[in-house]
Amino acid sequence: MAMDMLMAGVDTNPEKQAVLREEVMKVLPEKDSEFTEASMKNVPYLRACIKESQRIYPLVIGNGRFLNRDSVLSGYQVPAGTCVSMVPLSLLSSEEHFHKSAEFLPERWIRNATDSNGQCPANDLKLKNPFVFLPFGFGPRITLSAPP
């Protein structure tokens, strides 16, 4: 059953997979081609696929941080030392933030990209809240143990 799920998962987006394979083959034409930091700059579709995968299936359900100073969040006074949790799951699947949110559209992360219908599926992500998609958090890392 596990093999069926893995194998079926490969077939879910054959057109996206073909675009990705073509891009990777340009950068890594031989079996022993080395994938370097420089070659990573030449695979925007791969980066877009990774972002879109993390949007649909986030690695973590949220981030938590201890405030290092008193803050006002959405009009509420929150004292320093308070643990603030950010759980963006509903935002990542929201039509308000991601057009056709249920679909796997790596093109949404590429500027001026179009889909197979010639439509631009990408949201203008710069106009949206930049904190909607933060797969690895933002700002300094603070452990979730008690504040110092």
Going through the chain in order, the beta strands assigned E by DSSP cover: 63-66, 71-73, 76-78, 83-86
- Separation CA 15–CA 31 (nearest Å): 23
Q: Please provide the distance, in angstroms rounded to a whole number, between the alpha carbons at the two ends of the chain.
A: 48
Question: At 102, which helix (H) or strand (E)?
Answer: none
The model's confidence at residue 82, banded by pLDDT at 50, 70 and 90, is very high
The pTM is what?
Answer: 0.72
Q: Whole-angstrom Cα distance, residue 73 to residue 83?
A: 13
Q: In this predicted model, what pLDDT tens digit does every residue of 96-121 receive, in sequence order? A: 888 889 999 999 888 776 655 655 55
Residue 118 φ/ψ region, left for φ over 0, alpha for ψ in the -120 to 50 degree band, beta for the rest: left
